[in-house]
A and B are shown apart, each in its own frame.
Chain A
Amino acid sequence: MPSAPRPVTNTAADKRWRPVEAAMRRNGYRAGGLIEALHAVQRAYGYIDEAAMRAIGAALQLPLSKIYGVVTFYHFFHLKPKGRHTCVVCLGTACYIKGADRLLQTISREQQVSPGETTADGRLSLLTARCVGACGQAPAVVIDDQVVGQAEESAIHRQLAGLNSAGPGSDEEQP
């Protein structure tokens, strides 16, 4: 193995970059660690931007087009920042049978955001999933990583209305 090159951008000075660096080191700076590194970026920053892709490309000695190809292949990765809150409506078969598509339409209308998009004020991203594995609780909605089973329109509406304008878990910082 050639000695591992250091990232070229100032990401090295960024504290949030450390887990990414750790993920790459754990995989011996091999190309096989690409997806692990991308997961680390998304965990740290919420999305994967051009600078991150360039830094990873330099560290793992990978062509840029290859990294871009991988990032866009997997729907879990985002190239743009998400909203401060996320609402994921499961569209798996069990949820679909129990009316998840109507639920999605209602949320989309009430929150004025189309599926896959983020509200203009950056408060909420409305996303869909192909199955979150809570089929026994269909229809399922995941709000800020909390699964809400047997979701009813009114309850979801209340919960979404209750989300503060900052990020999840930052209630205390609000005046």
Chain B
Amino acid sequence: MNPEELQRIAAEELQAKSAAKHRIGVCTASGCLSCGSREVLKAIEQEAAARPEANLRIEGVGCMGLCSRGPLVMVQSGPVPAENSGAGAETAFLFKELTPADAPALVAYLEQQKSDPPTVAAGSTASSLAAKRCDLSAPFFRRQVKVVLEQFENIDPERIESYLAAGGYRALLDCLHHRRPVEIIDEITRSGLRGRGGGGYPVGLKWSTVAKAGAFVPQAGRSSRQSAGATAADRPDGPRKYVICNADEGDPGAFMDRSVLECAPHRVLEGMAIAAYAVGADFGYLYVRAEYPLAVERLRKAIVQAEKRGLLGRNIGGSAFNFQVEIRLGAGAFVCGEETALLASIEGRRGQPRPRPPYPAEHGLWGCPTLINNVETLANVAAIINRGADWFAALGTEKSKGTKVFALAGKIKNTGLIEVPMGISIHEIVHEMGSGEVGGIKAVQTGGPSGGCIPAEHFHLPVDYESLQAEGSIMGSGGMIIMDEGAAMVDVARFFMEFCVEESCGKCAPCRVGTTQVLLLLEKIGRGEGTAADLGQLEELCHLLQQTSLCGLGQSAANPVLSTLRFFRREYEQLLVDNTGKSNETDGSQSPQQGPQEVKK
């Protein structure tokens, strides 16, 4: 497909959309599907078919964020907004918790009322509908700035035309026809985009390392000794550089990558293709969790559609650029989110990390230079190309540019997905957007099992990579679990350590055994049997994990413990034997059951 063709298809699609008096979009992401949005979509379609004069256009669309109130349905009227303008439709109404029974009222109403929404004062059938209308001026919606989630309410995830109408693939064709790879990397570098998978590594720097890396020379010196597992026979012939999209979102409590994959698979594919062109790769893998069947299904569909339209495959967009993408399924191992473990898994091996350096950018898949970016990172790429680095860099803070998608969950009213500019305070997210009760919230956990808990007293902090790290937590992939006064922090730490014990790959000794020993201590303290010496031992082991583990999983496994120790140490101390007055004598050396064990003959 050349740029003119793309324009034509997009224009046709837009015209078809604009011809309808009202556009009804029903969320078909897994959150809303799990509470029956498929049935709602069917009911509305049936109702609309019975009343063709209503002139409605009904689509399954992407996630609209307020997942706890699903199924969500968006009704828009007036002309379709210009692509990438950031502006919404002229009039838009969002309905929450719709049921199939609401369909007749909705359609009847839209037919009569032209473009006005049902109001509370309206007639009897509409009043129940009116109660289900969301206030789009509420902070939950108003505070959001959408780049990654942009136009989700307008994009049918299963039709490439719908993505094209939303300005899709324009950036890719622009790159292929008008920009040199080095210019693209420069654009990304200037935008200040950082890796959204957790680490926050500058994306432009990573791209340029891969771009500069030479073609792979088999069995050259250092490389051969580092790839003990992959032999020459494993390596496919041909491609010498790879782009990998890390879609192994494993943090419990994080689901933004899932949403992006389910709602805009083409946005990720476009980002991958641009990245591949920029670094000189012609083959890509999407490594997706097997636990996300819907995302996998839509990705497969998207790849087929893009290949058919000549936007993936050979001679993309009439240029000389070839790029082929394949999906690789994860198989239930959290550690495979770590990039070297992910590589091992794609190579068909046990997903165990290897020491870095060498970094995948220079020595990756089958020894070839490999670019690994997370889903959200790649979903930012097309927007940066379309609107320029300066626009992107104007969002966010000095060191953390752009926006971040967070998955809000836990003890707040509005749970779901939000996208906010970096630098917004935790207070704004939790209390204003999430409608969390001020005073009732104790802490927010960010970064999953690698992150930490930030107490309510620190909610004034801006959300950016550095601030969160200074608090002993991490940005992570973007899970935010809000905890109320009922949450016992020792138990929260125990929960995450149990996760790490389960997910430790077993390669290095500190993580394999250390996590279990930490868990035992947390359980002991939790039962009220711990001593002050145990607390000391706990900290010592946590530091050992941080300092000596082989990969990021082990190195950060202690973060939930250390951060709760830092801010909620009293909760630990209150549980100690010495502090409850139960038995002050039982400690350290005199304890019969925990005496030192002889190992020597």
Contacts and interface: CB of A to CB of B under 8 A. Distances in A.
Tell me, yes or no, whether A and B come into direct contact in the complex with CB atoms closer than 8 A: yes
Given A74-B330, A137-B68, 7 more contacts: A35-B345, A74-B331, A93-B496, A133-B258, A133-B292, A134-B255, A136-B70
A75 B249 CA distance: 15
B448 A133 contact: no
B499 interface: yes
A146 to B, nearest CB: 8
A9 B505 CA distance: 32
B409 A94 contact: yes
B427 interface: no
B30 A130 contact: no
Given A30-B234, A74-B332, A97-B481, A133 B291 contact: yes
Contacts of B255: 131, 133-136
B67 A74 contact: no
A28 interface: yes
B35 interface: yes
Contacts, number: 156
Question: Which of A30, A39, A73, A91 has the most chain B CB atoms closer than 10 A to its own CB?
Answer: A73
B290 A136 contact: no
A94 B253 contact: yes
B357 interface: no
Contact residues on A (Cβ < 8 Å of other chain), bracket: 35 or more
A93 B31 contact: no
Contacts of B445: 93
Contacts of B407: 135-136
Given A35-B328, A74-B333, A76-B331, A136 B252 contact: no
Q: Which 10 A-B pairs have the closest CB atoms?
A: A136-B67, A92-B252, A74-B331, A94-B409, A34-B348, A76-B332, A93-B253, A75-B332, A131-B252, A147-B34
A131 B253 contact: yes
Interface in B386-444: 407-411, 415-417
Interface in A1-21: 1
B409 A138 contact: yes
A86 to B, nearest CB: 13
A135 B331 contact: no
Contacts of B409: 93-94, 97, 135-136, 138
Contact of A150 (B35, B348, B416, B499): B35
Contact of A97 (B30, B70, B329, B483): B483
Contact of B233 (A31, A33, A93, A140): A31
Interface of A: 1, 28, 30-36, 38-39, 66, 69-70, 73-77, 91-98, 129-138, 140, 145-150
Contact of B349 (A38, A70, A92, A149): A70
A148 B35 CA distance: 7
19 contacts: A36-B329, A73-B352, A74-B331, A76-B332, A93-B495, A94-B415, A94-B481, A97-B411, A97-B487, A131-B253, A131-B291, A132-B291, A133-B254, A133-B291, A134-B255, A135-B254, A136-B416, A137-B67, A149-B35
Question: Which of B249, B290, B334, B448 has the most chain A CB atoms closer than 10 A to its own CB?
Answer: B290
A33 B416 contact: no
A130 B329 contact: no
Nearest to A131: B252
Interface string B247-277: 0011111110010000000000000000000
B355 interface: no
A91 B290 CA distance: 17
Nearest to B414: A136
Given A75-B331, A97-B487, A131-B251, A136 B31 contact: yes
